[in-house]
Amino acid sequence: MANPVILSVDDDPAVSRAVARDLRRRYGDRYRVVRANAGPEALEALREIKLRGEQVALLLADYRMPEMTGIEFLEAAMDLFPAARRVLLTAYADTGAAIDAINLVDLDHYLLKPWHPPEEKLYPVVDSLLDAWSASPIAAATEIRVVGHRWSAESFAIRDFLARNLVPYRWLLVDDPEGARLLAAAGVTEADVPLVVTGDGKTLVAPAEAELAGLIGLNVTPTADFYDLIVVGGGPAGLGAAVYGASEGLRTVLVERLATGGQAGQSSRIENYLGFPDGVSGAQLTDRARRQALKFGAELLSTREVVGLDEAGSARVLRFSDGQCLAAHSVVLATGVSYRMLAAPGLDDFTGRGVFYGSAASEAPSCVGADVYIVGGANSAGQAAVYFSRYAQRVHLLIRGADLTASMSQYLIEQLGRIEQVIVHPHTEVAAAAGDEHLQRLTLRDTRTGEQRDVDTSWLFVFIGAEPRTGWLDGTVVRDQRGFVVTGPDLVTGGRRPPGWSLPRDPYHLEASLPGVFAAGDVRAASVKRVASAVGEGAMAVSLVHRYLEAQ
């Protein structure tokens, strides 16, 4: 397999040569160093690299170039290689531009020219960026190909899993000539798909998520059987707890049933998270948080679902769905919420075959030119409408209320108002779904008049609120009527502590009714359902874990 590429672009030929020379000297044995003298030339080189199926690990671009600035180049390059690390080369006077670029192109670093000696100023930066890139699933997944049926829920599950874990792949239909060739080479038939083929030729037929996770370099097995802290759930709250737990010296493991990022990972653009004035995609925020947690030494386990929590003396023991157990002094529950299912005749038959819960971003390129229907009036539905409008011919937003003002942020309402292809249908609900092999038709009902009409579509995305899936905590910690975990002062009613509470103090602020078990983020009763508050509660839970451990 070809070495991954480091590409540098600078319009000053002497500087361009010097950068390439310094990079080759240190990284030439493991990376292919490519240099260009202008943005368009560099983009052309990237397109060729893409076509050859090679990877790009790092891009270094000079800021001041005549045809295309470094920021413009990096922005265009992101479409081709979103996972490549990005560095802007600037003169001292351009640092303002570099700071802008941090927001615009999610810049990883800016380097002031000249950087001599490279041992001090260039290599430490490049070393850490290449380490981060090599540790990402993307590096492990060079040219993964998935062969499957267009409308197969199993094939969708695999593509969704890879997309949520930020792993690039090529999707081939069984009747595509290359798809057929891969099936033949793997010795399987159309009936056996989905088939996953790695860059180095390993094949997996209809793999389970844990198998797939192993293949793309995600950790599924803990290295110890006892920790200071187990975090359950890898959304913003869980990742926040893992970063703070590990950075403050706790042996920390995070257990995630699917892919880190949680709901936030599915957001195409989070506009209101502090420090990102131009917004940040959920995928980028997740990637950064993962790297940060790993850097501090937290273990992150994927595809491991927790199904039970038991008390064993001072230890807290979690059970996985495969029967294995993991114990710790303390636990942070950060399991968030999951989308509620839409109830209408016929819908269940098409889940993953035209009906999707959440944004299912992996499907967007297939919606080109189509009419897409989205159910929901909150921010998540609004963000999805903006995102799908880049692909679909028309995006129909179905809401029960008269307008969006009660449930959606004003900035998003205004954004939707500016997009011609988005049509809001007030007082409208889905009454039924029909189709053959996949969704082909929806029946819509006017909620005021009861009048019904049929529309032809193959795409329905549902965002109708969410509920915590906390049934597995039955009998262990107190939950409210809707299943959210009750914590802190809310557990003390009329001066009485919760039943079974064994300590001579009230529960700490985020502590559940079992001492040493804390809840953070959306799963906690009365929490604010936002990324910032989830991260904040994750951090705060860790400080309470310290207080709990000190008193033990």
Contact set with ligand FAD (CB under 6 A): 232-238, 255-258, 262-264, 266-267, 270-272, 305-306, 334-337, 359, 379-380, 383, 469, 521-523, 529-532, 534
Give the amino acid at 327: A
In the complex, least distance from residue 105 CB atom to ligand FAD, rounded to whole angstroms? 20
Amino acid at 259: A
Residue 22 or 209: which CB sits closer to ligand FAD?
Answer: 209
Nearest distance from C-beta of residue 194 to ligand FAD, angstroms: 21
The helices-and-strands tally (H runs, E runs) of the chain is 16, 26
DSSP 8-state class, residue 348: G
State in angstroms the smallest separation of the CB of 511 from ligand FAD: 17
Cβ proximity to ligand FAD: between 129 and 510 the closer is: 510
- Name the minimum Å distance from CB 186 to ligand FAD: 31
Nearer to ligand FAD, 290 or 445 (CB): 290
Query: In terms of CB distance, is 235 or 516 closer to ligand FAD?
Result: 235
What's the gap between Cα 530 and its chain centre? 15
With respect to ligand FAD, which residue has the nearer C-beta, 59 or 462? 462
Take residue 251 and report the two structure tokens written for it: 């042996």
Kindly tell me which of 42 and 464 has the beta carbon lying closer to ligand FAD.
464
Find the length of the chain. 552
CB of 247 to ligand FAD, least distance (A): 18
Query: How many beta carbons lie within 10 A of that of residue 314, not counting itself?
Result: 11
Name the H helices within 398-461: 410-417
Our CA angle for 270, 271, 275, nearest 5°, is 100
DSSP string, 9-63: E-SSHHHHHHHHHHHHHHHTTTSEEEEESSHHHHHHHHHHHHHTT--EEEEEEES
**Can you read off the two tokens belonging to residue 500?**
């079974």
CB 86, CB 108: distance < 8 Å: yes
Q: What is the identity of the amino acid at 381? A: A
For residues 537 and 524, is the Cβ–Cβ distance under 8 A?
yes
Cα 428 to Cα 185: distance, rounded to the nearest angstrom: 49
Residues forming beta bridges with residue 351, ordered by sequence position:
355
Nearest distance from residue 266's CB to ligand FAD, in Å?
A: 5
Closest distance to ligand FAD from the beta carbon of 453 (Å): 28
The smaller minimum CB distance to ligand FAD, of residues 179 and 468, is found at 468
Beta strands 226-232; 325-333: pairing state: parallel
In the complex, the smallest distance separating the C-beta of residue 273 from ligand FAD, rounded to whole angstroms, is: 6
Residue 88 or residue 385: which is nearer to ligand FAD going by CB?
385
Determine whether 255 is exposed, middle or buried from the number of CB atoms within 10 Å of its CB (0-12, 13-18, 19+): buried
